[in-house]
Amino acid sequence: MVKFIAKWHTSLKEISEENWNALLPSEEIPFYKWNWLSKLEGSQSICNITGWQPFHLSLWKEGSPIAVAPLYLKNHSYGEFIFDHTFISLSEELGLSYYPKLIGMSPISPIEGYKFFISPNENEEEITLMMMKIIEEFALKNGILSCNFLYVDKKWSSYSIKAKYQSWINSQSLWESSGEKDFSDYLGKFNANQRRNIKKERKYLQESGLIITPLQGESINTSIMENMHNFYERHCARWGEWGSKYLTKEFFIELGNSNQKNEIVIFNAHKGDVSNPIAMSLCMTNMKTLWGRYWGANQNIDFLHFEVCYYSPIEWAIEKGIEKFDPGAGGSHKSRRGFFAKPQISLHKWYDKRMESIMEVWLPKLNKLMNDKINTSNNEAPIKSSYKEL
């Protein structure tokens, strides 16, 4: 009989980059690669001090890792971008300790695609259920109330039913290519009024002398990444205690010097001198999907955010033949700029029978409300959506 050995890791460096990445598909999204996650930990952006204690799970067979699960023990709910205040209130009413909780996601990245990364030589469903059982045993032994997998891969989420995880639907904004050849094709999808508005916004910035230069690969250097961090920090500071500033300067610099340099795309807004930017947005790509992550500006210019974070990235994505653009969390204004609301699933299991039974009744009602909200948003958009309820 084959013997499996489970190991818990309080640092990603306890698993080699070679072993970790060997379990990821060749075109896996950037945010689960060893480099990205290890840079978050190494830069002290994600660590016990910031309330994200790495607690990754690996499964070994015959001396080799066959599966890994990026996991974190958390004592707060910041940086998840879905809001579990109602869960917290319910646990308090039941006299339960909500924290620490176990979270599966790429930290501070609301990026769809979470799953356990499993060798293609193994049965994915069997190994997934085995690891979920290991997680449950750990939680029960250590008094942890819940395990939560956020922004999950849709196929992988089907395995959760057998493990009695409950689905919670939230909303994600997404632009998807429908074969556009250029930005004019993109504009052609809108009604006349919104098409005119977008043209007006872009023209205003062009007449002000603003130039947007996409930077990628060897164009990314330490100076660029330091500027990007400064813009990110400035933007976070605008929102005070709600600014969600997690990333240190070291993270930006180390990422820009890493083997993920070619996955970075920075949209640099300037007036003729790339080294003297007015604003920047940082995106990541695997050349199938573009993900918007961080932005900031040192001048308040009308429509600048829309240009640097939406229009220029979409134009670049069309030029490169990219299929999808996820602009990041938040912002109802996205629906008027070509982004549809799309259902996004997270999976939750509570290791208390009272909480579990209440959530079984309550979550389907909440999901119905969210689906109604998504449909309303898409019906009011200046272009039509084909997304369906989950």
The DSSP result for 336-379, as a single string, is GGTPEEEEEEEEEEESSHHHHHHHHHHHHHHHHHHHHHHHHHHH
Give 201-242 as a DSSP string.
HHHHHHHTT-EEEEEEGGG--HHHHHHHHHHHHHHHHTTGGG
DSSP 265: E
Q: What is the pLDDT of residues 59-91, one digit of tens each?
A: 999 999 999 999 999 999 999 999 999 999 999
pLDDT in tens, 343-359: 999 999 999 999 999 99
Specify the pLDDT at position 387: 52
Instruction: Dig out the tokens for 389 from the structure.
Output: 């309820």
> So what's the pLDDT on residue 299?
93
Rounded-to-integer distance, Cα 178 and Cα 193, Å:
21
Does this chain's domain 4-172+341-380 share its CATH topology with 178-322? Answer: yes
**Within the chain, which residues score under 70 in pLDDT?**
1, 239-244, 331-332, 384-390
CATH 3.40.630.30 fits 4-172+341-380, yes or no: yes
- Where is 166: in which H helix or E strand? strand 166-176
Q: What pLDDT score does 384 carry?
A: 60
Do the beta carbons of residue 387 and residue 340 sit within 8 Å? yes
| Domain ranges for the chain | 4-172+341-380, 178-322
pLDDT of residue 334: 86
Q: What fold does the segment set 178-322 form as a domain?
A: Aminopeptidase (3.40.630)
Distance from C-alpha of 135 to C-alpha of 130, rounded to nearest angstrom: 9
